[in-house]
Amino acid sequence: MSIIVSAVYRREIDPEPARRRMLAVLQELTPERLRSSAALDVRDGAGHVQGTVNLPGHYPRRDLSLCQGKLYDSEETWWEPGTRAPDGSFAILREDADRFEAVSDPAGSRMLWYLHDDHMFVVSNSERAITMYTGRFALNRSVVPWVVSTGTRGLGASYNAHLRLLPPAAVASLDKASWQLQVAAEEIRFVETPGSREERLADLDEALAGTFANFGAEDSAHAVISLSGGCDSRALAAYLGRDAAAGWRSYSIGSAKAIAMPGSDASIAARVAAALGLRHRTIVTDPGTGDIGELARRFVISGEGRHDGLIRLDSGSELQRMSMEGVAAIVRGDEGFGWKPVAPTGLSVRMSMDLLLCGDIANLKPHLAAFGLDGHELPEELRRAPGESIETWRDRLYQRYRIPTLLAALTEHKAITFDTINPLLSRRALKLTRSLPDTLRTDKALFRELVGKIGPDVPFAGRDGAPSRMQNTRHPEVLRAVRRTLASPACEGLFGPGLARWLRAEIHPARYHWTRMGQVLGRVQRRYLKQPRGNDTVHLDPLRLAFRLFVATTMVEQLEADAGLQPADAQIDRAA
């Protein structure tokens, strides 16, 4: 991913030490294996210093206004504060003499964090960058129950209490004269409009075709399609593949074992690519050699501890090779067309969103008070509204919580070396989806019908291609690293000794084997004897809970170190 950082000051600063500080931040953030080829750039203006790492040269930029990503509209005024936010997959920073603005895309698919105080306004897609540049870190203890129950920090929260996440379809506008910051976000509203199924299908096709009409040979020269055996990426390939002259490339990932299986993600992706005339490559993601525990730690830090999905344990050398071949961006199939069917209960909806509360976790529930996790509640914004159907609430949670909190984090992490573009999350697509009846959103019914019409005659994949996050987490060396972390003073200080020691006992190798066996037998029993799970709690693998503590402890230690990296500089802060 490219990194962007802007620091805007209220009063006059000396630009030279500010530039040096910014350059030091960019160098520290660049992975060691990429430093020799990384493009680091620092610019400054009146009371403003801006840094970027590997920002593709074809991205829109004008003075200290920049667009990290892809615009789907020919918005000639995208760079002007106060103008309409364009459609696209982007993070925008823009400035004039009176205002500085940070703009998120319609889905919040790219994270923009900010810190605002009486002295400065700092914006970046990296929490580490802001922490490092400002030298400020204060632990946000409100994230602790969310880390335990979801593996994220919750809605819009960072480990660093000074930082906030810009919501989807939002503008954070700083008035330089008054130094007042206003954050305005579009409301996510689902309102059904009239229309037949055929009319809606045509409207969806038109909306997506209008989005993909903005892609061409200039994009295919710098980007590749992330292709799986599923429905979403097939839509990408079908629409982009219509422009044969563009010569699009694609890739898929999978373990060596899965790649050899005819119905796996990777093998089906290769068949789809061949049917559509795409140049395709398959990347093997088996665990690398060396210190696997250290690979897991680096993986957490590279993703800034935003999720608990250990989705890669390989070295990433194949992705680095793609970068060396000129690939700057990945076109991905994240979407918001509707989520899978759920039982008509609050727990079922939230469970499908990975939005559990601590009290929902059966094996944790008896210990909530002892571990200081009682009283954990859903924010008002995420609760079911009066008169809102289960299906509408489900899909609103998907767009307000899951996409900007979890998918955005996973998107950045799945393509550490590249930027990411998500055409299926265009404003056109989201607007149309929010106008559909529940039946056409559930399980993406309308979208699936459209993909069936425009896609090749290739079956969908029947199994994943890459190891699951829990398969990677159960690697013996990862398990050892997690247990070491749980025994550390840092982990006990963050989560309390009770929780850390309880989980360490739960994942002891001798005990964990039988715990896992019990979970598997329980699932088999419920499935074949038709026994209900129960509707008020869910059992979570203790290793998954333990890994969440590993992620948070690792990242908090890193942020504390980042904050101490750059001492205060009176030459920069002389007017503070």
In sequence order, what DSSP letters do the residues of 296-346 get, joined into one string? Answer: HHHHHHHTTT--------S--HHHHHHHHTT--EEE-----S------SSH
Calculate mean pLDDT across residues 513-532. 48
Calculate mean pLDDT across residues 383-401. 98
What pLDDT is attached to residue 48? 97
Indicate the DSSP class of residue 15.
Answer: H
Cα 324 to Cα 319, 321, 433, 471, 477: the distances in Å are: 9, 5, 38, 30, 31
Question: Is the per-residue pLDDT at 334 higher than 50?
Answer: yes
> Whole-angstrom Cα distance, residue 500 to residue 506?
10
What pLDDT is attached to residue 315? 58
Burial class (CB in 10 A: 0-12, 13-18, 19+), 429: buried
pTM for the complete prediction? 0.93
pLDDT tens profile 121-178 = 999 999 999 999 999 999 999 999 999 999 999 999 999 999 999 999 999 999 999 9
What pLDDT is attached to residue 516? 53
> Whole-angstrom Cα distance, residue 92 to residue 77?
12
CA dihedral sign, ordered 363, 365, 370, 373: positive
Query: Is 421:225 a contact under the CB 8 Å cutoff?
Result: no
Cα 499 to Cα 144, 359, 377: the distances in Å are: 11, 14, 19
SS3 sequence, 225-260? EECCCCHHHHHHHHHHCCCHHHCCEEEEEECHHHHC
The DSSP secondary structure of 28-85, one letter per residue, reads: HHS-GGGTTT--EEEEEETTEEEEEES--TTS-EETTEEEEEEESS--TTTTSTTSPP
Q: Are strands 329-331 and 180-185 parallel, antiparallel or unpaired?
A: unpaired
Query: Is 546:486 a contact under the CB 8 Å cutoff?
Result: yes
Query: Is 460:231 a contact under the CB 8 Å cutoff?
Result: yes
Cα 269 to Cα 80, 253, 262, 288: the distances in Å are: 41, 9, 11, 23
Q: How confident is the model at residue 572 (pLDDT cuts 50, 70, 90)?
A: low
Query: Is 37:67 a contact under the CB 8 Å cutoff?
Result: no
pLDDT tens profile 39-80 = 999 999 999 999 999 999 899 999 999 999 999 987 789 999
Q: How confident is the model at residue 530 (pLDDT cuts 50, 70, 90)?
A: very low
What phi, psi does 250 have (nearest 5°)?
Answer: -140, 165
> Whole-angstrom Cα distance, residue 505 to residue 548?
16
The residue among 68, 156, 40, 73 whose CA lies nearest residue 421 is 68
Query: Is 73:88 a contact under the CB 8 Å cutoff?
Result: yes
Question: Is the per-residue pLDDT at 221 higher than 90?
Answer: yes
Question: Is the per-residue pLDDT at 222 higher than 70?
Answer: yes
Question: Is the per-residue pLDDT at 13 higher than 50?
Answer: yes
Calculate mean pLDDT across residues 177-189. 97
